[in-house]
Amino acid sequence: MSCFPRMSKSPSLNRTLDWNVQAILTLGGLDGRLIDKKYFHCIDWLEDAMRILDRKAFEDLITTLWNSWNNRNNFFFRGKEEEARIVWERVRTINHDFCIHNIVNKPIILVTPIVQKWEKLPNGFVKINVDATVLNNKTGFGVIIRDCDGFVIGGGGGGFKDDFMTTEWAELYAFEEGINLAHSFNVENAIFETNCTNIVNRIKKRKEDHVTIIGHRTKEIHKSMELFTKVEVKWINRSCNKVADLICKLALSNCNMFFWHGLSKGYHDIVIRDSI
């Protein structure tokens, strides 16, 4: 997988460049799961990186990608390419300089911490939060449905193995399960929330796709959504989707689980903290 577009028609040239990028990432100590796994879209790779890496490591990754991108541009437009170790040494120096700068200097604009969580919705609406996790060839999805006061109407999750399921397919599957579960509770006015940008763009028809299988599946989902009286799809920050995220992670080990008004204490406490 390469985050960089293939600009040459020569397979051997592209292969050399891809190996150089991989070497730079390996020297940087990037988690092997992010290097070995295959992805169809760069955004899926970055979303997985945000799930696996902490904030500092992700910042270092962005710096590494930026320097790798500059190295590739120098090769194409100037005929000069640096070795992977030289690029990585530059990345390490930049990261170190930034770290020292942040410790010594106060930010120009002071950051005001904002606590992001589940938000109350308009009266008469029901909110359905969905999420999915792909880890070690296992996929887990989670759905939780709450009314305008934050009370849980229902929810569920499932886990299964699928060697070929990408993150985008998993998120789309979770979204579809959320629709089906909402219909089973006869929900009329629905607000669906997910932290997957790709899915929100697809559902909102920003990605017109009538050829691929996932495009056809999205079209079928649109038909199911027409059964709601009012429906809206929103992107949210991951911190606002904590309960659905927890459910899909637990589903990886518990296979299938569905609940209605009776929540276990662990779930109940998390839902309460998330809603208040």
Q: What is the pLDDT along the chain (276 residues), one digit of tens a residue?
A: 444 434 344 444 444 446 677 787 777 777 777 777 777 778 888 888 888 888 778 888 888 888 888 888 888 888 887 888 888 888 888 877 776 556 666 666 666 655 567 777 788 899 999 999 888 778 888 899 998 888 888 888 877 766 667 888 889 999 999 999 999 999 999 999 999 888 898 888 755 666 778 888 888 999 999 999 999 999 988 888 888 888 887 777 765 555 544 455 556 666 766 666
Co-location of 153 and 94 in the same domain? no
Q: Which of 104, 136, 152 is the last residue of a domain?
A: 104
112 occurs within a structural domain: no
22 within some domain: yes
For residue 108, what pLDDT is reported?
Answer: 60
Classify residue 223: in a domain, yes or no: yes
Q: What is the pLDDT of residue 224?
A: 92
Structure tokens at 256: 């299938």
Indicate if 225 and 93 belong to the same structural domain.
no
Total domains in the fold of the chain? 2
Residue 110: inside a domain, yes or no?
no
Find out whether 146 and 134 touch, Cβ atoms under 8 Å: no
Query: What residue numbers bound the domain in which 50 lies?
Result: 11-104
CA distances, 262 to each of 105, 233, 250 (Å): 51, 27, 17
CB distance 232 to 129 below 8 Å: no
Tokens of 272: 């309460």
